[in-house]
């Protein structure tokens, strides 16, 4: 999950400019020092970059400042930011300040990551052969990373929602195949292939609805079979790691593209309602339904998000509100049964939700309660959009009637975090998802663009 907020943006520019001066052997002026101390909140209003006694000595810094003013910066994009910065400096006739720029970016990223990990936070990480995830059952009260050391750990994490959201589940399962392979420690290639395939089959039983889980595991099975003659177990493992990384990188790129395509839907001053959590926590990074929101926010647009709390596990209030607050996005939590009133009051202009599986005709399975939101949106003439990558479309299913709906433990309805909320012994019904008919959906925001009805035709390329 990559989160950008303007306070961070300003602080990064202040630190950046300070480090540029230090690397060039120049002393900070009073305005620069004030800015470094947080007194000057305009990162570009430094006299030593726009004029004054050092103007003749620092033409490249003035060029750098002009370049900075043309860019928007998010910490996770340091490489892209550096490339754009260098291009801007070159276009303005400046010298190559690449080493200065990269050093400043790296130092700032390390400093800020140590202060606040949420600036560039991902739902999971694969590093040095280890799979670590944020335990989302503890949020928002505690941000804790846990390591999944066995395939049983991965299965359990998916099952009990330590990691959740269709794209994130798929990526976690892909790396989970590697976890299972390392756990089995096969001595030869035949044993390695068998271990990978068995782990994939096992992880596929964790949850039934999110199609990304099966999509990712199918890719890992194919990678395992294609690598059965690579020569050694070590090379086989590297092949599977490359496959899992490709799945992860693909999901991140798709979410960013979804944000770019969906952001224009969010106009200045509008109200956006979302259900459950389809942000970075659900997609490894950035999100699906929240991606357009982040991109619109980064563009400087002012708007307000209403987050349904999303009973029974409160993913909206626990996770979506937490993400958006850390991202500096204006958000209000509402109970699920308040959505109709908020719409009636004219506070909602647009609904964007995520998806767990989309059938060939456009019928969409998403977190329980989504169907009701779609019906309310139709009743109030509010456009209802679904944001999802191509990996969420299941064209093997003609309609949503064929989508399997997960039935979860009734205790999730009668209890919450150990607190009893219903009479002991009462029966409870707990489907985790519902299916919104395609007729209620204004469009699908995908990495390829926005698809509009009729969906039978629009989805032909997926």
CA angle 144, 124, 129 (to 5 degrees): 105
And the tokens for 164?
């959740």
> Can you say whether residue 286 is alpha, beta or left, with left for phi > 0 and alpha for psi between -120 and 50 degrees?
left
Quote the CA–CA distance of 212 and 120 in Å, as a whole number: 24
And the tokens for 243?
């496959």
3-state secondary structure of 407: strand
And the tokens for 288?
């699906």
Quote the CA–CA distance of 356 and 366 in Å, as a whole number: 5
Q: How many residues does the chain have?
A: 462
Nearest alpha carbon to residue 268 among 299, 226, 247, 243: 299
Quote the CA–CA distance of 388 and 212 in Å, as a whole number: 11
Quote the CA–CA distance of 283 and 441 in Å, as a whole number: 22
Q: Rounded to 5 degrees, what are φ and ψ at 179?
A: -60, -45
Active site residue 356: yes
Quote the CA–CA distance of 452 and 235 in Å, as a whole number: 44
Nearest alpha carbon to residue 236 among 246, 226, 244: 226
Q: Of 356, 363, 394, 434, which residue is the catalytic one?
A: 356
The answer to whether the CB of 134 falls within 8 A of the CB of 164 is no
Quote the CA–CA distance of 256 and 260 in Å, as a whole number: 6
The catalytic residues are 356
């Amino acid at each position: 999950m990559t989160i950008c907020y303007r306070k961070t943006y300003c602080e990064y520019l202040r630190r950046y400019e300070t480090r540029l001066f230090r690397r060039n052997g120049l002393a900070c002026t009073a305005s620069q020092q004030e800015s470094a101390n947080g007194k000057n909140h305009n990162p570009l209003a430094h006299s030593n970059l726009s004029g004054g006694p050092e103007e003749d000595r620092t033409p490249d810094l003035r060029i750098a400042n002009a370049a900075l003013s043309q860019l928007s910066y998010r910490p996770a994009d340091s490489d892209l930011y550096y490339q754009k910065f260098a291009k801007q400096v070159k276009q303005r006739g400046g010298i190559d300040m690449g080493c200065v720029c990269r050093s400043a970016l790296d130092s700032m990223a390390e400093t800020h990551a140590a202060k606040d990990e949420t600036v560039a936070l991902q739902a999971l990480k694969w590093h040095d052969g280890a799979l670590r995830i944020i335990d989302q059952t503890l949020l928002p009260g505690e941000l804790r990373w846990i390591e999944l050391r066995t395939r049983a750990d991965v299965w359990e994490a998916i099952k009990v929602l330590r990691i959740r959201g269709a794209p994130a589940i798929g990526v976690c399962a892909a790396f989970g195949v590697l976890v299972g392979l390392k756990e089995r420690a096969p001595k030869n290639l035949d044993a390695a292939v068998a271990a990978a395939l068995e782990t994939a089959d096992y992880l596929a039983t964790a949850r039934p609805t999110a199609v990304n889980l099966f999509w990712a595991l199918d890719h890992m099975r194919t990678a395992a079979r294609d690598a059965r003659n690579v020569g050694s177990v070590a090379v086989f493992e590297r092949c599977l790691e490359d496959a899992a990384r490709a799945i992860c990188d693909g999901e991140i790129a798709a979410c960013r593209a979804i944000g770019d395509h969906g952001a224009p839907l969010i106009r200045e001053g509008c109200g956006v309602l979302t259900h459950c959590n389809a942000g970075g926590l659900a997609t490894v990074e950035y999100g699906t339904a929240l991606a357009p929101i982040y991109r619109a926010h980064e563009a400087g647009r002012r708007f307000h998000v209403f987050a349904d709390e999303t009973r029974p596990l409160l993913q909206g209030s626990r996770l979506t509100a937490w993400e958006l607050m850390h991202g500096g996005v204006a958000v209000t939590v509402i109970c699920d049964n308040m959505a109709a009133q908020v719409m009636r009051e004219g506070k909602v202009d647009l609904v964007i939700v995520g998806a767990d599986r989309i059938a060939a005709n456009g019928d969409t399975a998403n977190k329980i309660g989504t169907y009701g939101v779609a019906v309310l949106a139709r009743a109030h003439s509010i456009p209802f959009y679904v944001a999802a990558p191509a990996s969420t479309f299941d064209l093997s299913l003609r309609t949503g009637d064929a989508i399997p709906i997960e039935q979860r433990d009734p205790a999730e309805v009668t209890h919450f975090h150990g607190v009893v909320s219903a009479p002991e012994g009462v029966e409870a019904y707990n489907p985790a998802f519902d299916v919104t008919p395609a007729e209620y959906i204004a469009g699908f925001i995908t990495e390829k663009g926005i698809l509009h009805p009729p969906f039978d035709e629009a989805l032909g390329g997926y």
